[in-house]
Structure 1
Amino acid sequence: MLWYTIGIFLGCFIFTLLTIPKIINVVKYKNLMDDPGSRSSHEQKTPTLGGVSFYLSFVGTLFFIRNFAVYEEAIYLMPALTIIFISGLKDDLVSISPKAKLLAQFCAIAFVLYNPSFAITSLHGFMGIGTIPQLAGAVLSAFFMIVVINAFNLIDGIDGLAAMVGLVISGAYAFIFYTINQGFFVLLCLALQGCLLAFLYYNLSVKRKIFMGDTGSLLVGFIISLLTIKLLAVPMEDSFALPFLRENTPIIIISILIVPLLDTARVFIVRILNKRSPFSADRNHLHHLFTDGLLLSHKRASFFISVLNLLFIGLIMILSNYLGYKLLLPAFSLAVFLILLYCIPLKKNKERFEEKPEALKRLMEKKK
């Protein structure tokens, strides 16, 4: 198992590392570049479609790890990943409507939820909820998967952020699935990490930069969403081996996904309070607050947010071993409140620099 694990990780890493330059060449030759706009964080045309390499890696991985799947999950994931890939690819190339994208996501989710491995039948005592009806579990799963997929898509706004956060999330899930002996999902996490680590090499590059595009962010978000549902669907007999009190599972999941979920919730609430559509575009995401409010580079902002995500997971994971959900929930809420409190001066800095560009210019000169 150890050598197989190393092989899957290195295989995806090397494959992604070797295929992305080919994708960059094709994208440049066909002029499928991402043009900078008013909301863009880049200033020149940049190749996109890095997610094509992810799809090829995932399909290859599913072939090699299919024997580790107890419920033949690999067979169900093949069409699901293909649907997500096609919708993301079309959106990157010619753009598709939000309704069409949402329909594609529901179709992909249907393949996943048809497999009994992803059936949520209990919340293990969280908020006093034990067994839940199968239909209610399916509806909850579909809704949460849609939220996670699109929340992850929304954080892909600056260089390195989606990949770094994806590495933290998949690492946390790999650890948890390892403790409950879910080999298939451990290997899936490591395959995702191999792809993201190789992608970062190019995404943070100056001369050979590429974006993952919707093709990549939707694929990564989809993998993360199904890992999330799988953790919620862990059978009762396996839940005793979890590295935290099993009743805290929902809180642990939200802690792992805190960056995309908190960013999406915060942005939507701010837009609604400003009497705007929650789906309207702006530069009010968490990563924009760090780049515009603290004048951090993309690399530093992405690294800072990812470390914050890792520390948050570690804190809640440690507390979850000693506190039940009745005490852990207030601690979790307090931690989230402190993060939001920290965002207030960042927001003010961002607005000050927008109103007084000369102040921004002076600060930039001091940093040189």
Structure 2
Amino acid sequence: MGFLETAILIFIGSFLMVYLTIPKIIRVVEYKRLMDDPNQRSSHIIKTPTLGGASFYFTLIIAFFFIKNWHEFSEDIYIIPGLTILFIVGLKDDLVVLSPGSKLIAQVLAISFVLINDSFGIESLNGFLNIYEIPYYLYLAIGGFLMLTIINSYNLIDGIDGLASIVGIVIMIIYTTIFYLSKEYYFALIAITMNGCLMAFFGFNVSSDKKIFMGDTGSLIVGFIISILTLKFLALEPAAYGDGELPFLLENAPLIAISILIVPLFDTARVFAIRIANKKGPFSPDRNHVHHVLIDFWGLSHKQASFIIGCFNIIFVVLFIILGSKAKNTGMVIMLVSVVMFLAYIFFKYNYNFTTLKQKILLRRKIDSLKGKKEESTSKKKKPKH
């Protein structure tokens, strides 16, 4: 069976697997009362089923069986243990909240399985900033930091309906294209599998009557897959894709990777900077994320905010792929820094120095309501008696 036929069957199978299992998960979650209770920083106001990401895990495990003949370095044997660790940790965190330290230890253990596989070794940056050879210990440090950053960044953007799904879908479409052109068909099939999962899940996530969240179970799994694909992308060498033609110079791959992941990376860097500036822990919860700004300050709905952020991601990637086809590293670095500084200028003015914006909004409404009642009471007292 050729790649095209396999890709179609994998996508349809993944989509149906998630689409058919999500309703069953919803029923079990509702029956066992494992709902996500809204709190002061939540974007939802009613109890909502979570654990939607559990369907991703089973779908990926089954998909690995059907695409096992497409790999070269038995990558699935190294990916599945890490995937299982994050599934268990995410499941427990959705049911019983875990500390950031516990999740970080689990993530380090999960990515260790991937880093030791020869397929992901980054031996050179192909001339990026005049860097060619990379020692093995430096690869482990860079690769480990990269994977941890991506996993946690994706986990943090899962804050409103549809956002994590849309951003994930955009990233998977781009990586599917890149790995298809570079003839790394195994990784293209992984991206297609994940895309089928996210597209099926998206319909439930934005539904009004069958809503479910992917939870940490899902966001950790998706973030893990994105980090694997990114690591493999950076490990590509000109000889690896033979006669295939990528639409950009391979030496610009690090900047292309940043552009692909710009939404979670920028948002994470922004909220961490604000929290540290406010003398809080970088993982302390608040409503400082970009999607919260779009909803709370600009009055957009969840779907509108998710759509705008997704479109921005696509435009940003297309722009950098065009620049990466000709421009040298220095020009692209200047362009990237300029865009990030511009975005920082726009969004950093929404620096909330209080616990949550929602608290302040509710307090303001309560004060306005009390003022209205007081004025009404005063007017009644002053009304002349006949």
TM-score for the superposition, normalised by structure 1: 0.93
Q: Note the C-alpha offset of 1:236.
A: 3.9
Q: Residue 129 of structure 2: SS of its match in structure 1? A: helix
Q: Residue 327 of structure 1: SS of its match in structure 2? A: helix
Residue 275 of structure 1 pairs with residue 279 of structure 2: yes
CA–CA distance in 2 between the matches of 1:239 and 1:318? 20
Bigger drift between 90-99 and 19-28 goes to 90-99
Superposed CA deviations along residues 20-75 of structure 1, whole A, max 9, x for unmatched, are 00000000000000000000000000000001100011001111001101111112
Written as runs of structure 1 = structure 2, the 5 A alignment for 1:105-254 is 105-238=107-240, 241-254=245-258
Aligned-pair identity (%): 50
Q: Is the 8 A contact 1:293 1:347 kept in 2?
A: no
Q: Is the 8 A contact 1:163 1:199 kept in 2?
A: yes
Aligned match of 2:334 in 330, 333, 345?
A: 330
- In structure 2, the partner of 1:58 is 60
CA–CA distance in 1 between the matches of 2:368 and 2:316? 31
- In structure 1, the partner of 2:291 is 287
Q: Is the 8 A contact 2:19 2:201 kept in 1?
A: yes
- In structure 2, the partner of 1:45 is 47
Superposed CA deviations along residues 269-301 of structure 1, whole A, max 9, x for unmatched, are 111122222221110000001011111110110
Q: Is the 8 A contact 2:183 2:241 kept in 1?
A: no
- In structure 2, the partner of 1:365 is none
Aligned match of 1:309 in 307, 313, 322?
A: 313
Q: Is the 8 A contact 1:289 1:347 kept in 2?
A: no
The runs of 5 or more residues in structure 2 that have no matched partner are 370-386
CA–CA distance in 2 between the matches of 1:288 and 1:145? 25
Superposed CA deviations along residues 297-339 of structure 1, whole A, max 9, x for unmatched, are 1011011101111111111111111101011111122222232
- In structure 2, the partner of 1:343 is 347
Closer, same or farther: CA 134–89 of 1 in aligned 2, 3 Å: same
Q: Residue 46 of structure 1: SS of its match in structure 2? A: coil
1:257 counterpart letter in structure 2:
L
The runs of 5 or more residues in structure 1 that have no matched partner are 362-368
Superposed CA deviations along residues 211-249 of structure 1, whole A, max 9, x for unmatched, are 000000000000000101001111341267432111111
Q: Note the C-alpha offset of 1:344.
A: 5.2
Greater C-alpha Rg: 2
Aligned match of 2:322 in 318, 325, 328?
A: 318
CA–CA distance in 2 between the matches of 1:309 and 1:161? 11
1:234 counterpart letter in structure 2:
L
CA–CA distance in 2 between the matches of 1:152 and 1:181? 27
CA–CA distance in 2 between the matches of 1:360 and 1:109? 51
Q: Is the 8 A contact 1:239 1:246 kept in 2?
A: no
Q: Note the C-alpha offset of 1:342.
A: 3.2
Q: Is the 8 A contact 1:158 1:287 kept in 2?
A: yes
- In structure 1, the partner of 2:263 is 259
- In structure 1, the partner of 2:99 is 97
- The CA RMSD over aligned residues, in Å, is 2.0
CA–CA distance in 1 between the matches of 2:48 and 2:319? 38
CA–CA distance in 2 between the matches of 1:18 and 1:233? 36
Q: Note the C-alpha offset of 1:357.
A: 4.3
Q: Is the 8 A contact 1:122 1:132 kept in 2?
A: yes
- In structure 2, the partner of 1:73 is 75
CA–CA distance in 2 between the matches of 1:145 and 1:154? 14
CA–CA distance in 2 between the matches of 1:187 and 1:23? 26
2:286 counterpart letter in structure 1:
D
Superposed CA deviations along residues 188-227 of structure 1, whole A, max 9, x for unmatched, are 0010110000001100001110000000000000000010
1:56 counterpart letter in structure 2:
F
